[in-house]
Amino acid sequence: MRIAVVGATGMVGRVMLQVLEERNFPITEIIPVASERSIGKTIEYKEKEYKIVSMQDAVEMRPDIAIFSAGGETSKQWAPKFAEVGTTVIDNSSAWRMDPNCPLIVPEINADILTTNDKIIANPNCSTIQLVMVLNPLHKKYGIKRVVVSTYQSVTGTGKDAVEQLNGEIEGRDVAKVYPYQIFKNALPHCDVFDEETGYTKEELKLTREPRKIMRVEEMNITATAVRVPVQGGHSESVNIEFENDFDLGEVRKLLAEQEGVIVQDNPDTNTYPMAFYSEGKDDVFVGRIRRDLSQPNALNCWIVADNLRKGAATNAVQIAEYLVKHKLVG
Protein backbone atom coordinates (compact mmCIF):
# COMPACT_ATOMS: atom_id res chain seq x y z
CA MET A 1 0.00 0.00 0.00
CA ARG A 2 1.71 3.16 -1.27
CA ILE A 3 0.34 6.38 0.22
CA ALA A 4 1.05 9.94 -0.94
CA VAL A 5 0.47 12.77 1.54
CA VAL A 6 0.05 15.98 -0.45
CA GLY A 7 0.79 19.02 1.68
CA ALA A 8 2.95 16.95 4.02
CA THR A 9 4.73 19.94 5.57
CA GLY A 10 1.56 21.88 6.40
CA MET A 11 -0.28 21.88 9.72
CA VAL A 12 -2.88 19.29 8.68
CA GLY A 13 -0.36 17.29 6.61
CA ARG A 14 1.88 16.81 9.62
CA VAL A 15 -1.07 15.61 11.69
CA MET A 16 -2.04 13.21 8.88
CA LEU A 17 1.41 11.61 9.04
CA GLN A 18 1.11 11.41 12.82
CA VAL A 19 -2.34 9.79 12.64
CA LEU A 20 -1.21 7.29 9.98
CA GLU A 21 1.64 6.26 12.28
CA GLU A 22 -0.47 6.13 15.44
CA ARG A 23 -3.14 3.97 13.80
CA ASN A 24 -0.47 1.73 12.24
CA PHE A 25 -1.95 2.16 8.77
CA PRO A 26 -0.63 -0.62 6.46
CA ILE A 27 1.87 1.38 4.43
CA THR A 28 4.69 -0.11 2.37
CA GLU A 29 5.82 3.29 1.09
CA ILE A 30 5.01 6.86 2.15
CA ILE A 31 5.33 9.53 -0.54
CA PRO A 32 5.47 13.05 0.96
CA VAL A 33 4.51 15.82 -1.45
CA ALA A 34 4.84 19.55 -0.80
CA SER A 35 5.41 22.89 -2.51
CA GLU A 36 8.38 23.57 -4.79
CA ARG A 37 10.42 25.15 -1.98
CA SER A 38 10.23 21.94 0.07
CA ILE A 39 11.20 19.47 -2.69
CA GLY A 40 14.34 17.54 -1.76
CA LYS A 41 13.93 18.12 1.97
CA THR A 42 13.00 15.18 4.16
CA ILE A 43 10.29 14.27 6.62
CA GLU A 44 10.40 11.50 9.22
CA TYR A 45 7.84 8.70 9.34
CA LYS A 46 8.25 5.74 11.71
CA GLU A 47 11.87 6.71 12.38
CA LYS A 48 12.76 6.67 8.68
CA GLU A 49 13.58 9.64 6.46
CA TYR A 50 11.57 10.19 3.28
CA LYS A 51 12.45 12.74 0.61
CA ILE A 52 9.74 15.23 -0.37
CA VAL A 53 8.88 14.96 -4.07
CA SER A 54 7.07 17.15 -6.58
CA MET A 55 3.44 16.70 -7.51
CA GLN A 56 4.31 15.39 -10.99
CA ASP A 57 6.80 12.88 -9.58
CA ALA A 58 4.16 11.66 -7.15
CA VAL A 59 1.63 11.17 -9.96
CA GLU A 60 4.20 9.17 -11.93
CA MET A 61 4.77 6.94 -8.88
CA ARG A 62 1.08 5.91 -9.04
CA PRO A 63 0.32 5.59 -5.32
CA ASP A 64 -2.70 3.55 -4.24
CA ILE A 65 -4.08 6.48 -2.21
CA ALA A 66 -3.24 10.19 -2.17
CA ILE A 67 -4.44 12.17 0.85
CA PHE A 68 -4.59 15.86 -0.05
CA SER A 69 -4.33 18.83 2.28
CA ALA A 70 -2.93 21.48 -0.02
CA GLY A 71 -5.79 23.88 -0.77
CA GLY A 72 -8.64 23.94 -3.22
CA GLU A 73 -6.83 25.25 -6.30
CA THR A 74 -4.07 22.67 -5.98
CA SER A 75 -6.65 19.95 -5.57
CA LYS A 76 -8.66 21.04 -8.60
CA GLN A 77 -5.51 20.93 -10.71
CA TRP A 78 -3.91 17.75 -9.43
CA ALA A 79 -6.56 15.43 -7.97
CA PRO A 80 -7.87 14.49 -11.46
CA LYS A 81 -4.30 13.71 -12.59
CA PHE A 82 -3.84 11.27 -9.72
CA ALA A 83 -7.27 9.78 -10.43
CA GLU A 84 -6.34 9.28 -14.11
CA VAL A 85 -3.46 6.97 -13.16
CA GLY A 86 -5.68 4.89 -10.83
CA THR A 87 -4.92 6.59 -7.52
CA THR A 88 -7.82 7.14 -5.11
CA VAL A 89 -7.71 10.72 -3.83
CA ILE A 90 -9.03 11.72 -0.40
CA ASP A 91 -9.21 15.50 -0.51
CA ASN A 92 -9.38 17.75 2.54
CA SER A 93 -10.14 21.00 0.67
CA SER A 94 -13.57 22.36 -0.29
CA ALA A 95 -12.91 21.79 -4.00
CA TRP A 96 -14.93 18.60 -4.46
CA ARG A 97 -17.31 18.53 -1.50
CA MET A 98 -20.45 19.62 -3.30
CA ASP A 99 -19.56 17.98 -6.63
CA PRO A 100 -22.42 15.53 -7.29
CA ASN A 101 -19.94 13.00 -8.68
CA CYS A 102 -17.74 12.98 -5.56
CA PRO A 103 -18.85 11.36 -2.30
CA LEU A 104 -18.55 13.49 0.86
CA ILE A 105 -17.69 11.07 3.63
CA VAL A 106 -17.75 10.79 7.40
CA PRO A 107 -16.99 7.06 7.79
CA GLU A 108 -19.24 6.49 10.82
CA ILE A 109 -22.19 7.87 8.86
CA ASN A 110 -22.00 7.17 5.13
CA ALA A 111 -18.87 5.22 4.12
CA ASP A 112 -21.22 2.49 2.86
CA ILE A 113 -21.79 4.50 -0.34
CA LEU A 114 -18.14 4.17 -1.44
CA THR A 115 -17.22 2.01 -4.43
CA THR A 116 -14.10 1.21 -6.44
CA ASN A 117 -15.26 3.80 -9.00
CA ASP A 118 -14.88 6.67 -6.53
CA LYS A 119 -11.46 8.09 -7.38
CA ILE A 120 -11.93 11.51 -5.74
CA ILE A 121 -13.46 11.39 -2.27
CA ALA A 122 -14.11 14.61 -0.35
CA ASN A 123 -13.30 15.07 3.33
CA PRO A 124 -15.91 17.42 4.86
CA ASN A 125 -15.29 20.75 6.53
CA CYS A 126 -13.91 20.39 10.07
CA SER A 127 -16.88 22.00 11.80
CA THR A 128 -19.30 19.98 9.65
CA ILE A 129 -17.79 16.66 10.72
CA GLN A 130 -18.28 17.16 14.44
CA LEU A 131 -21.78 18.53 13.84
CA VAL A 132 -23.07 15.58 11.80
CA MET A 133 -21.58 13.06 14.22
CA VAL A 134 -24.16 14.32 16.73
CA LEU A 135 -27.01 15.18 14.36
CA ASN A 136 -27.12 11.87 12.50
CA PRO A 137 -28.18 9.48 15.29
CA LEU A 138 -30.72 12.00 16.57
CA HIS A 139 -32.17 12.57 13.10
CA LYS A 140 -32.66 8.83 12.62
CA LYS A 141 -34.68 8.65 15.82
CA TYR A 142 -36.63 11.92 15.95
CA GLY A 143 -36.39 13.57 12.52
CA ILE A 144 -34.71 16.98 12.36
CA LYS A 145 -36.71 20.01 11.17
CA ARG A 146 -34.20 22.79 11.78
CA VAL A 147 -30.68 23.35 13.11
CA VAL A 148 -29.14 26.60 14.34
CA VAL A 149 -25.38 26.35 14.89
CA SER A 150 -22.92 28.94 16.19
CA THR A 151 -19.26 27.97 16.07
CA TYR A 152 -16.28 29.06 18.16
CA GLN A 153 -13.35 28.06 15.98
CA SER A 154 -9.67 27.67 16.80
CA VAL A 155 -6.99 29.65 14.98
CA THR A 156 -5.47 26.32 13.89
CA GLY A 157 -8.32 26.14 11.37
CA THR A 158 -6.65 28.99 9.49
CA GLY A 159 -3.13 27.52 9.60
CA LYS A 160 0.37 28.08 10.93
CA ASP A 161 0.44 31.81 10.25
CA ALA A 162 -2.71 32.33 12.30
CA VAL A 163 -1.20 30.45 15.23
CA GLU A 164 1.86 32.68 14.90
CA GLN A 165 -0.36 35.79 14.91
CA LEU A 166 -2.10 34.70 18.12
CA ASN A 167 1.12 33.75 19.91
CA GLY A 168 2.85 36.91 18.73
CA GLU A 169 0.02 39.07 20.03
CA ILE A 170 0.02 37.22 23.38
CA GLU A 171 3.77 37.84 23.69
CA GLY A 172 3.57 41.45 22.50
CA ARG A 173 5.59 40.83 19.35
CA ASP A 174 4.99 42.61 16.05
CA VAL A 175 3.66 39.88 13.74
CA ALA A 176 2.05 39.67 10.32
CA LYS A 177 -1.75 39.63 10.55
CA VAL A 178 -3.66 36.81 8.91
CA TYR A 179 -6.94 38.18 10.24
CA PRO A 180 -8.19 41.72 9.58
CA TYR A 181 -8.02 42.45 13.32
CA GLN A 182 -6.13 41.13 16.32
CA ILE A 183 -7.36 37.75 17.54
CA PHE A 184 -5.92 37.89 21.08
CA LYS A 185 -8.61 38.99 23.56
CA ASN A 186 -11.08 39.08 20.69
CA ALA A 187 -13.76 37.10 18.83
CA LEU A 188 -14.14 37.59 15.08
CA PRO A 189 -17.51 36.77 13.47
CA HIS A 190 -15.58 36.13 10.27
CA CYS A 191 -14.42 32.64 9.23
CA ASP A 192 -13.35 32.41 5.57
CA VAL A 193 -14.48 35.03 3.04
CA PHE A 194 -17.89 36.67 2.75
CA ASP A 195 -20.30 35.58 0.05
CA GLU A 196 -21.57 38.73 -1.65
CA GLU A 197 -24.97 37.31 -2.54
CA THR A 198 -26.00 36.00 0.90
CA GLY A 199 -23.84 37.92 3.39
CA TYR A 200 -22.79 34.60 4.93
CA THR A 201 -19.17 33.52 5.05
CA LYS A 202 -18.10 30.47 3.06
CA GLU A 203 -17.56 28.61 6.35
CA GLU A 204 -21.18 29.27 7.31
CA LEU A 205 -22.42 28.12 3.91
CA LYS A 206 -20.40 24.90 4.22
CA LEU A 207 -22.15 24.23 7.53
CA THR A 208 -25.56 24.70 5.93
CA ARG A 209 -24.91 22.60 2.81
CA GLU A 210 -22.53 19.76 3.66
CA PRO A 211 -24.61 18.05 6.40
CA ARG A 212 -27.49 17.55 3.97
CA LYS A 213 -25.25 15.69 1.53
CA ILE A 214 -23.54 13.55 4.19
CA MET A 215 -26.77 12.63 5.97
CA ARG A 216 -28.71 12.25 2.70
CA VAL A 217 -31.39 14.69 3.90
CA GLU A 218 -31.77 17.36 1.24
CA GLU A 219 -34.62 19.24 2.95
CA MET A 220 -33.07 19.80 6.39
CA ASN A 221 -33.07 23.50 7.36
CA ILE A 222 -29.72 24.69 8.78
CA THR A 223 -28.43 28.18 9.54
CA ALA A 224 -25.00 29.04 10.90
CA THR A 225 -22.82 31.78 12.36
CA ALA A 226 -19.08 31.03 12.46
CA VAL A 227 -16.79 32.86 14.90
CA ARG A 228 -12.99 32.73 15.23
CA VAL A 229 -11.78 32.75 18.84
CA PRO A 230 -8.29 32.94 20.43
CA VAL A 231 -8.05 29.19 21.03
CA GLN A 232 -5.21 27.04 19.74
CA GLY A 233 -6.74 23.64 19.11
CA GLY A 234 -10.35 22.51 19.03
CA HIS A 235 -13.56 23.89 17.53
CA SER A 236 -16.66 24.34 19.71
CA GLU A 237 -20.28 24.61 18.58
CA SER A 238 -23.48 25.75 20.26
CA VAL A 239 -26.26 23.85 18.52
CA ASN A 240 -30.05 24.17 18.69
CA ILE A 241 -31.99 21.32 17.08
CA GLU A 242 -35.73 21.28 16.43
CA PHE A 243 -37.19 17.81 15.86
CA GLU A 244 -40.32 16.52 14.14
CA ASN A 245 -41.05 14.39 17.21
CA ASP A 246 -40.67 14.76 20.96
CA PHE A 247 -37.70 13.18 22.74
CA ASP A 248 -36.56 11.92 26.11
CA LEU A 249 -33.31 13.45 27.40
CA GLY A 250 -32.13 10.13 28.82
CA GLU A 251 -32.70 8.46 25.46
CA VAL A 252 -30.89 11.31 23.68
CA ARG A 253 -27.82 10.80 25.89
CA LYS A 254 -28.00 7.03 25.31
CA LEU A 255 -28.22 7.42 21.52
CA LEU A 256 -25.22 9.74 21.49
CA ALA A 257 -23.20 7.52 23.83
CA GLU A 258 -23.83 4.58 21.50
CA GLN A 259 -22.66 6.52 18.42
CA GLU A 260 -19.18 5.36 17.45
CA GLY A 261 -16.70 8.22 17.83
CA VAL A 262 -18.89 10.33 20.16
CA ILE A 263 -18.27 10.79 23.89
CA VAL A 264 -20.97 12.29 26.11
CA GLN A 265 -19.64 14.65 28.80
CA ASP A 266 -22.75 15.99 30.48
CA ASN A 267 -22.97 16.37 34.24
CA PRO A 268 -23.61 19.90 35.54
CA ASP A 269 -23.25 18.68 39.15
CA THR A 270 -19.53 18.03 38.57
CA ASN A 271 -18.97 20.79 35.96
CA THR A 272 -18.50 18.09 33.34
CA TYR A 273 -18.87 19.40 29.80
CA PRO A 274 -16.78 19.42 26.61
CA MET A 275 -13.98 21.97 26.26
CA ALA A 276 -11.58 22.72 23.43
CA PHE A 277 -8.69 22.53 25.90
CA TYR A 278 -9.34 18.83 26.56
CA SER A 279 -10.23 17.86 23.00
CA GLU A 280 -6.81 18.74 21.61
CA GLY A 281 -4.96 15.68 20.36
CA LYS A 282 -8.02 13.41 20.58
CA ASP A 283 -9.99 11.74 17.80
CA ASP A 284 -13.44 11.69 19.38
CA VAL A 285 -16.27 14.21 19.17
CA PHE A 286 -17.44 15.40 22.59
CA VAL A 287 -20.99 16.51 23.37
CA GLY A 288 -22.55 17.95 26.52
CA ARG A 289 -24.80 20.71 27.95
CA ILE A 290 -27.65 18.57 26.62
CA ARG A 291 -30.93 20.19 27.61
CA ARG A 292 -34.39 21.09 26.36
CA ASP A 293 -34.96 24.39 24.61
CA LEU A 294 -37.51 25.95 26.95
CA SER A 295 -38.70 28.38 24.26
CA GLN A 296 -39.70 25.84 21.62
CA PRO A 297 -41.43 22.43 21.67
CA ASN A 298 -39.45 19.38 20.50
CA ALA A 299 -36.19 21.37 20.55
CA LEU A 300 -32.81 20.60 22.10
CA ASN A 301 -29.66 22.55 22.94
CA CYS A 302 -26.19 21.00 23.08
CA TRP A 303 -22.49 21.89 22.97
CA ILE A 304 -20.16 19.98 20.61
CA VAL A 305 -16.35 20.06 20.67
CA ALA A 306 -13.65 18.30 18.61
CA ASP A 307 -10.02 18.72 17.61
CA ASN A 308 -10.35 20.31 14.17
CA LEU A 309 -6.95 19.03 12.99
CA ARG A 310 -7.71 15.43 13.93
CA LYS A 311 -11.33 14.25 13.58
CA GLY A 312 -12.05 17.51 11.78
CA ALA A 313 -9.42 16.79 9.12
CA ALA A 314 -6.58 14.26 9.38
CA THR A 315 -8.24 11.46 11.34
CA ASN A 316 -11.40 11.50 9.24
CA ALA A 317 -9.29 11.28 6.05
CA VAL A 318 -7.27 8.37 7.43
CA GLN A 319 -10.48 6.62 8.53
CA ILE A 320 -11.73 6.90 4.94
CA ALA A 321 -8.46 5.32 3.76
CA GLU A 322 -8.85 2.54 6.35
CA TYR A 323 -12.36 1.82 5.08
CA LEU A 324 -11.12 1.63 1.48
CA VAL A 325 -8.42 -0.88 2.45
CA LYS A 326 -10.67 -2.96 4.71
CA HIS A 327 -13.33 -3.30 2.01
CA LYS A 328 -10.79 -3.86 -0.78
CA LEU A 329 -11.82 -0.73 -2.69
CA VAL A 330 -8.20 0.19 -3.45
CA GLY A 331 -4.95 -1.63 -4.16
Residue 228 labeled ligand binder = yes
Instruction: List residues bridging with 32 in a β-sheet.
Output: 5
Exposure string for 241-262, b = 16+ CB within 10 A, e = fewer? bbbeeebeeeebeebbeebebb
d(C-alpha 254, C-alpha 17), whole Å: 34
d(C-alpha 305, C-alpha 156), whole Å: 14
Smallest CA-to-CA distance from 145 within 154, 135, 155, 159 is with 135
3-state secondary structure of 221: strand
d(C-alpha 79, C-alpha 90), whole Å: 9
| Choice among 102, 126, 191, 302 that is catalytic | 126
d(C-alpha 148, C-alpha 146), whole Å: 7
Residue 14 labeled ligand binder = no
- The helix/strand count (H/E) of the chain reads as 10, 13
Smallest CA-to-CA distance from 16 within 242, 283, 286 is with 283
191 catalytic, yes or no? Answer: no
Residue 9 labeled ligand binder = yes
235 catalytic, yes or no? Answer: yes
d(C-alpha 184, C-alpha 167), whole Å: 8
Residue 35 labeled ligand binder = no
Residue 212 labeled ligand binder = no
| Choice among 102, 191, 235, 302 that is catalytic | 235
CB 105 within 8 Å of CB 124: yes
Residue 153 labeled ligand binder = yes
Residue 38 labeled ligand binder = yes
Residue 12 labeled ligand binder = yes
Q: Which residues participate in the annotated binding site for substrate?
A: 153, 228
Q: Which residues participate in the annotated binding site for NADP(+)?
A: 9-12, 37-38, 308
Active site residues: 126, 235
Q: Which residues participate in the annotated binding site?
A: 9-12, 37-38, 97, 153, 228, 308
